[in-house]
């Protein structure tokens, strides 16, 4: 399967590399994943376009590898694990010394640093043959990535430093955090700038052309940012702009009836018409270039395995989420593998045969009695799965946002905090998602209906923790304390505290920058 993100490595300016090499441990100066001098490099449109390639994959690897799921899915009660390296959020015992917390923090700052390099220095380093449209689009991608990294930073840690140019702090990396409202202002500004600079497109069946973000991608993410701040009218208006543009479509909806919800998670449907922004994994012989989910999820029990490695099933469905889907919801089987389920498209080792999910006690996956289907594509099976690299990682994309999410954002923004609504446009949005899942139309809905629909639709995609984090604390605590966070052999219940909804700064970063623990200060835009 052709991938546009393989030919050129991520680039940074030469003098930024020199700064990084002298101060590699500061979070303000994360080293680049790959470093090539810009001298005489950006002479063509193709070379300029390649400058952001790494921002679609390698800079996100340590975020996506374990941290993302350990926080957003284990923490929210969607996933179960008893593996010591990713288990802390199940019991709300995460601390700043946790290695995966450090990995997630570092990866997000690497994205900020790389995006800053492109925003600040690329425009001055292009040749006369480079198209203005290509340059604008590339800089727009960098604004998009910086906004996305900050959107995760502010929702995970709250107040963090705003850094728009890493060189401003190269000699003085002791930096105050900035107020949450200022961070959201930066995110809004960056997505607006991205929407202005990025090219417009309509997603078609030419999946190769869909990999990069677009004007509609920036507007979709901005609608989500507005929603998180309860700027309902702005969120609704922005979502409607994207919906009206026709850029994105639901797989299995009226416009693509031959597709289905399950098709979203197959390798051959990377960059489909529903994908708003997805990480673009491509194994290239280097650790951290491909996607580890097929190994981390799935089944590995000593008899059969969906993993290309000698182990698998680090994460599993929680007991709580297994009971959340109603009868007839087509999403369940494509999200959670239960005993007796059959998946002809997934091949297993060592036989290479079709996956028939074994009895609960034989699934593996931490003793959960089930396994995760999303992002599990099985052992290598030619063009159906693509290859696996030396670490058994594969090339299937990771969604950061897809069109179903935007439709649910539109419905919620139309509800706008009211007790319920029967608004026709809002119903059209939520019912489009439900109908694709085989469920009947609603004639009105409440916020709790939306929250439930978001959980079931986006399960294992990293959203539920953030949804719980934006509702009243008492409600979130009640939901989470009622979740069975044990495995099939015994129920376990844990109650989060107020402070658990934002995670600790890494201890090593606090030691180097004690201002992280001081009250945030206003940012001077």
Q: Which residues of 316-331 are buried (b: 16+ CB within 10 A; e: fewer)?
A: bbbbbbbebbeeebbb
Q: Which residue has the higher pLDDT, 7 or 45?
A: 45
* pTM of the predicted structure, to 2 decimals: 0.94
Q: Residue 35 pLDDT more than 70?
A: no
pLDDT of residue 5: 53
Quote the tokens at residue 89. Answer: 């959020």
Q: Quick one: average pLDDT of 264-285?
A: 97
8 Å CB contact between 116 and 163 = yes
Closest CA to 151 of 196, 184, 115: 184
Task: Report CA-CA distances (Å) from 28 to 16, 42, 175.
Answer: 12, 26, 9
8 Å CB contact between 10 and 54 = yes
Q: How confident is the model at residue 302 (pLDDT cuts 50, 70, 90)?
A: confident
Packing angle between helix 132-157 and helix 180-197, nearest 10 degrees? Answer: 160
How many Å is the maximal CA-CA distance in the chain? 67
Closest CA to 433 of 462, 457, 413: 457
Rounded-to-integer distance, Cα 384 and Cα 281, Å? 16
pLDDT, tens digit, 9 for 90 and up, residues 137-157: 999 999 999 999 999 999 999
pLDDT of residue 42: 85
8 Å CB contact between 487 and 80 = yes
Q: Residue 389 pLDDT more than 50?
A: yes
pLDDT of residue 49: 94
pLDDT of residue 339: 96
Q: Quick one: average pLDDT of 15-20?
A: 32
Q: Quick one: average pLDDT of 373-392?
A: 97
- Length of the chain equals 525
pLDDT of residue 172: 82
pLDDT, averaged across the chain: 92
Q: How confident is the model at residue 323 (pLDDT cuts 50, 70, 90)?
A: very high
Q: Which range has the worst mean pLDDT, 6-15, 121-130, 456-465, 482-491?
A: 6-15
Closest CA to 367 of 310, 309, 319, 333: 319
pLDDT of residue 18: 28
Beta-carbon contacts of residue 106 (< 8 Å; ≥ 6 apart): 27, 30, 62
Task: Report CA-CA distances (Å) from 251 to 208, 430, 456.
Answer: 17, 15, 16
């Amino acid at each position: 399967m052709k991938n546009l993100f393989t030919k050129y490595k991520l680039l940074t300016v030469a003098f930024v590399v020199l700064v990084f090499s002298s101060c590699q441990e500061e979070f303000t100066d994360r080293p680049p994943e790959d470093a090539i001098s810009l001298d005489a490099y950006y002479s063509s449109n193709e070379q300029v376009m390649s400058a952001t390639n790494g921002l679609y994959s390698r800079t996100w690897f340590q975020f996506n590898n374990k941290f993302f799921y350990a926080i957003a899915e284990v923490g929210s009660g969607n996933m179960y694990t008893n593996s010591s390296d990713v288990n802390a959020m199940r019991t709300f015992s995460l601390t700043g010394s946790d290695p995966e917390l450090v990995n997630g923090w570092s990866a997000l700052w690497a994205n900020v640093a790389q995006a800053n390099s492109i925003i600040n220095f690329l425009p001055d380093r292009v040749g006369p043959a480079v198209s203005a449209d290509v340059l604008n689009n590339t800089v727009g991608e960098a604004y998009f990535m910086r906004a996305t990294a900050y959107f995760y930073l502010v929702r995970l840690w709250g107040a963090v430093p705003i850094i728009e140019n890493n060189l401003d702090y190269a000699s003085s990396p002791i930096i105050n955090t900035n107020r949450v409202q200022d961070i959201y202002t930066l995110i809004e500004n960056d997505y607006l700038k991205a929407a202005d600079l990025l090219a417009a497109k309509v997603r078609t069946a030419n999946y190769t052309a869909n990999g990069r973000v677009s004007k509609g991608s920036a507007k979709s993410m901005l609608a989500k940012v507005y929603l998180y701040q309860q700027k309902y009218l702005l969120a609704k208006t922005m979502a409607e702009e994207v919906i009206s543009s026709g850029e994105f479509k639901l797989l299995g909806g009226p416009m693509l009836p031959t597709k289905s919800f399950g098709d979203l998670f197959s390798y051959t449907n990377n960059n489909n018409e529903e994908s708003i922004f997805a990480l673009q994994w491509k194994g290239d012989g280097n650790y951290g270039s491909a996607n580890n989910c097929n190994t981390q999820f799935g089944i590995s029990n000593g008899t059969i395995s969906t993993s290309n490695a000698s182990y698998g099933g680090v994460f599993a469905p929680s007991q709580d989420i297994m009971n959340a889907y109603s009868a007839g919801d087509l999403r369940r089987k494509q999200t959670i593998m239960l005993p007796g389920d059959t998946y002809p498209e997934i091949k297993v080792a060592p036989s290479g045969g079709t996956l028939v999910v074994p009895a609960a006690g034989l699934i593996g996956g931490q003793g959960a009695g089930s396994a995760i289907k999303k992002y599990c594509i099985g052992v290598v099976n030619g063009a159906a799965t693509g290859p696996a690299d030396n670490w058994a990682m594969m090339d299937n994309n990771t969604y950061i946002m897809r069109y179903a999410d935007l439709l649910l954002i539109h419905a919620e923004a139309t509800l706008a905090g009211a007790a319920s609504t029967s608004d026709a446009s809002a119903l059209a949005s939520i019912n489009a998602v439900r109908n694709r899942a085989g469920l009947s139309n609603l004639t009105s809905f409440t916020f709790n209906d939306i929250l439930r629909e978001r959980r079931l639709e986006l399960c294992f995609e990293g959203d539920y923790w953030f949804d719980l984090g934006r509702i009243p604390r008492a409600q979130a605590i009640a939901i989470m304390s009622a979740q069975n966070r044990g495995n099939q052999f015994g129920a376990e219940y844990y109650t989060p505290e107020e402070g658990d909804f934002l995670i600790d700064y890494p201890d090593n970063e606090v030691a180097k920058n004690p201002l992280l623990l001081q009250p945030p200060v206003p940012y001077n835009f």
